[in-house]
Amino acid sequence: MRTQVAIIGGGPAGLLLSQLLHLDGIDNVVLERRSRAYVEGRIRAGVLEPGSVEMLDKAGVGERMRREALHHEGIYLSFDKQPFRIDFKSLAGAVVTVYGQTSITEDLNETRLKMNGNLVFEAEDVSLQDFGGPHPKVSYRKDGITQEVICDFIAGCDGSHGVSRASVPETEIRIFERVLPFGWLGVLSETPPVADELIYARHETGFALCSMRSKTLSRYYVQCPITDDVADWPDARFWTELRARIPGDAAERLVTGPSIEKSIAPLRSFVAEPMRFGRLFLAGDAAHIVPPTGAKGLNLAIADAGALAAAIVSHYRNRDDTGLNSYSEQCLKRIWRAVRFSWWYTALTHRFDHDPFGARLQRAEFDLIVGSRAAAKTLAENYVGTFSSPSPG
């Protein structure tokens, strides 16, 4: 098979890149290791910055999002059950959109297939070759038959554990990582959300987050030891712990019900530098991971896809490689800003064991946000993404 761009990974970054390239007439193929049902069944984040909404609209996949999404003008930040509202509209002049990553993936898959996009699911034993030279190749096995894709560029959008980053020699890549000593236990339930906006709660027993996917589907999280198992958390224990950590009025409104999905996610910050290796470009979780506290992971993936698409289009249309040459540098500026915010916000809202000094600093930081419009404005601007660096192109 001959194509212009081989995209490894059929998550939001890979599918969005495929769609954007297609709209500019650039041939591409997406190779995804899992089945379509598996990819669309993954429960992930769903808070979108304005720039992400614009990018999805530009890709022609925003119709259902515009119809079904929720728009939030703020969040609640709670410290030991004392809530304070961060007003995005007045502080940052923008709002965020709540629309699940699962829905985004469904929309992208449906649109690509309607446009006869070349999506190969259950592509096994994917191997990247010769991306340091002018004629990279990707081989894979499908239904027992080995196939080869000859291309101009490879986009590695296959996540933290994918083959793309692992194909880069260790001497050519630098890894920055910090692992947190706790995780998030997440529960999805068919219950009405406890509030119209997200609640981030720091409590002496640990962090909690009240989120939602729709007006009838809630997503809740509590901080837990990373050594815990889902079996340690029956529904009754989860609801009791959540209720204890959130503000009193929210606790009284909380509607509980059977969990329809429950999982424990580790928290870490991870960045790989650079994001370009010859004709291989990394995007999304293949290049970076942030704690979900600041709602940046999906937005960074969308921004990477947009930047890489613009750079590739400029290469073919204008014979201009400025965007390709600056892709890594420009993306990393945006990524490190998000890493900084996500780490700061996680440090503000979570309980760290045996650290009374840190707890006092958290209290002082919360009081600063409550008492200083400038401090609250900084939080709001970073959360909604108005501090994001512009994408190349």
Residue type, 96: V
The 3-state DSSP class for residue 26 equals coil
Gap between the Cα atoms of 239 and 243, Å rounded: 6
137 tagged catalytic: no
Q: Which is catalytic among the residues 72, 203, 288, 315?
A: 72
Nearest CA to 245 among 36, 49, 82?
82
DSSP assigned state of 270 = E
Query: Is the Cβ–Cβ distance between 129 and 137 less than 8 Å?
Result: yes
**What Å distances lie between residue 121 and 8, 107, 145, CA to CA?**
11, 16, 14
Nearest to 55 by CA among 31, 89, 23: 23
Q: Is 72 a catalytic residue?
A: yes
State the catalytic residue, choosing from 288, 296, 315, 350: 296
Buried b (16+ CB within 10 A) or exposed e, 128-149: beebeeeebbbebeeeeeeeeb
Sheet containing strand 145-150, strands side by side: 124-129, 137-142, 145-150
Distance CA 212, CA 205 (A): 23
Q: Report the SS3 class of residue 76.
A: strand
Catalytic residue among 140, 200, 220, 327: 200
Amino acid at 367: D
Q: Which residues contact 369 (CB under 8 A, 6 or more apart)?
A: 77, 84, 86, 375, 376, 379
Alpha carbons 67 and 43: distance in angstroms, whole number: 21
Residues 6+ positions from 118 with CB-CB distance below 8 Å: 3, 28, 29, 30
Respond yes or no: is residue 383 known to be catalytic.
yes
All residues at 6 or more sequence positions from 5 whose CB lies less than 8 Å from its CB, including other chains: 17, 21, 26, 27, 28, 29, 151, 152, 153, 154, 155, 312
Q: Where are the alpha helices (DSSP H) in the chain?
A: 12-23, 36-41, 50-58, 63-68, 88-92, 101-114, 163-166, 235-245, 248-253, 297-318, 322-349, 356-371, 373-384
The active-site residue out of 292, 327, 345, 350 is 292
**Residue of 76, 315, 383, 392 with catalytic role:** 383
Our answer to whether residue 99 is catalytic in this structure is no
In the residue annotation, 262 being an active-site residue is answered as no
Positions marked catalytic: 72, 200, 292, 296, 383
